[in-house]
Amino acid sequence: MSTSPTTATAIAKAMRNGDLCAVDIVQAQLQRIASLDPELGAFCSTFDDRATANAVRLDERQKAGESLGPLAGVVIGSKDNLLVENELASAGSRMLSTFRAPFTATSLQRLELHDGLLIGRTNMDEFGMGSTTETSAFQKTRNPFGKDLVPGGSSGGSAVAVAADLCAIAIGSDTGGSVRQPAALCGVTGLKPTYGRVPRYGLIAYASSLDCVGALARTAEDLALWLDCASGQDPADATSLPTPATVSHMLAERSDLKGVRIGVPRELNGEGVDDEVLTATQAAVAQIRDLGGEVIDCALPSAKHAVPAYYLLATAEAASNLARYDGVHYGNRTEQTDPSQQSSIDTTTQSRSEGFGAEVQLRILLGTFASSYGYSAQFYERARLARRALQREFAQLFERCDVLLSPTSPTAAPHFGDHEEDPLARYMWDALTVPASLAGIPALSMPCGQTADGRPIALQAMAKHGHDGHVLQLAHVFQMHSQHHLRRPQL
Amino acid sequence: MPKPQAIDANLIAHLGELARIRVPEDRQEELRAKLQQLVVAFSTLAETDFEAAGDDANAATSMRTMTADELRKDTAETPPSVDQVLANAPQTAAHCFVVARVVEP
């Protein structure tokens, strides 16, 4: 691809000026996907007809002189757990390998309403349960910065799609870091908004008190554009927040960070973080100080409880949410049992045992344990208290800080197969992203450097509940004064 | 404070029954060991005194409660058609879900 603009903001602007043609954009992106994706494995399928038909309509409106929406001509990938009417939506699971969505998720419908072009569904860890996209029942997704490196997860396909320029924006979901961590490992920018800011209707549930629809893009500016189009109350989601003020305009208000109070919690900026990652994120914090940020050393003592609390709460909710896969209403039904001969419990048990992969089964059993009679007081209830303690500490920190910073991931992208057999080591890998998930606060990951062997390193910014604009503003200023987000993989 | 439970084969079978998941015998030991490792690691929560800081597990977390004027009007909307509801069913007959036998003949 040549000199055509690659950020969503620039594409939409060129479309509105009549300098681009949507059909050409879609054709070019589909060709790029066809040529690069067989090796990368980012997309499970593409929506050729849908994207082309929407592009044709957009071009007609452009020719007729109609005003076009803020996402005009922006090609968007969406994670396999978000519904697009009549398309497959499998959440990376064999359980839903043939499931066709009866309607489109609110968060995606709004993007099409603003003239965005949905182009395909991206690979993911099964039901969002994983940090490498390896638990997908369908295909392996590779990091474009190294074919033997994991892309992160669970929104690994979305991260790779943006990193490899297969789309301008990709939608993901983030329950414990599933947008931020793959964004970090693939060198793109990713936002988990405040819980409830983007409606969950049409998102296949993992853990309902934590699930957030998020997005990955090349710049914070693109994420602000996305957030303004996707956020707002939805009658179909009782947890959606009242429509907030837009954030895009906030980005133009600042070119430095004078007076912004930046907290650097000790617990998230030392122990367990690789030296190379720490060096790069500390350099980024120093640059933020140079831009006028007032850096404050601070503590988040309950962070040590975040991984246990997250995994007990998320799996307990998952055990309940995934009970709906009964082999009757939709999803996999076993062919091993004969409904006329065997009991309904046999059929359901066999259908679930065949349909769910090993990691999903492990998490359902852990969640069942944590919430079952005799154990819930010691596990589920304690985890809820730990969550409260963490939320209280965050609230106290946000009385004296505007933004908190930490690395997004304690390591750069590992190779396939690293700590495969050790679930605790895998879960501890999420230690820096789960605190914001438990607190329901907005958090963004932005590239801030690379390891000696060229793997991306990222900085995470967190802000007070509802203050998504603060993390976007900080990232935008950082990106105005740095080049890390512009580095692209050799493909 | 009670010690972390030993996760044994009986408990795995019990959890499997509750969760409607059958773990094949050749995978049971591996799964038992993984669960045991996680349960021991996560039992640190039971050793921490959260209540001392006045925390209450029942306080609203990230959820908010809708106010009455946010709820939609209590009037019927057009429901999905029977065909739409059945479109993804693994087995149907005469516009119904086919379910396994639930009563003895």
ipTM surpassing 0.90, yes or no?
yes
* Rounded Cα distance, A188 and A443, in Å: 14
Q: What value does the mean pLDDT take over residues B36-42?
A: 95
Contact (CB<8Å) A235/B11: no
Residue A277 has pLDDT above 60, yes or no: yes
How does pLDDT run across A17-61, given as a tens digit for each residue? Answer: 999 999 999 999 999 999 999 999 999 999 999 999 999 999 999
Contact (CB<8Å) A102/B21: no
Q: A234-248, A334-348, B62-76 — which is least confidently predicted? A: B62-76
Q: What value does the mean pLDDT take over residues A384-408?
A: 96
**What's the confidence (pLDDT) of residue A2?**
40
**Domain segments of chain B: what residues?**
1-50
**What's the confidence (pLDDT) of residue B105?**
66
Q: What value does the mean pLDDT take over residues A359-387?
A: 95
Architecture of domain A8-253: Alpha-Beta Complex (3.90)
* Rounded Cα distance, A91 and A106, in Å: 17
Residue A175 has pLDDT above 70, yes or no: yes
Of A210, A319, A328, the CB nearest to B19: A319
According to DSSP, the residues that pair with A43 across neighbouring strands are: A122
- Which residues of A are known catalytic residues? 79, 154, 178
**What's the confidence (pLDDT) of residue B1?**
39
Q: Residues of chain B with pLDDT > 70: what percent?
A: 76
How does pLDDT run across A222-247, given as a tens digit for each residue? Answer: 999 999 999 999 989 989 998 888 99
Residue A400 has pLDDT above 60, yes or no: yes
Residue A409 has pLDDT above 60, yes or no: yes
**What's the confidence (pLDDT) of residue A4?**
63
**What's the confidence (pLDDT) of residue B2?**
46
State whether residue B56 sits within 8 Å of chain A by CB. yes
Chain A residues near residue B34 by CB distance under 8 angstroms: 362, 423
Contact (CB<8Å) A388/B15: no
State whether residue B82 sits within 8 Å of chain A by CB. no
Q: What value does the mean pLDDT take over residues A88-105?
A: 97
pLDDT class of B68 with cuts at 50, 70, 90: low
Residue B74 has φ and ψ, to the nearest 5°, of -80, 65
Contact (CB<8Å) A233/B48: no
pTM here? Answer: 0.96
Contact B71, B65 (CB under 8 A): no
* Rounded Cα distance, A470 and A160, in Å: 26
- Nearest C-alpha in B relative to A426: B38
**What's the confidence (pLDDT) of residue B50?**
86
- Nearest C-alpha in A relative to B42: A308
Contact A271, A306 (CB under 8 A): no
Q: What value does the mean pLDDT take over residues A311-315?
A: 98
Q: What value does the mean pLDDT take over residues B52-73?
A: 65
Measured in angstroms, the CA of A251 and the nearest CA of chain B are apart by 27
* Rounded Cα distance, A204 and A125, in Å: 13
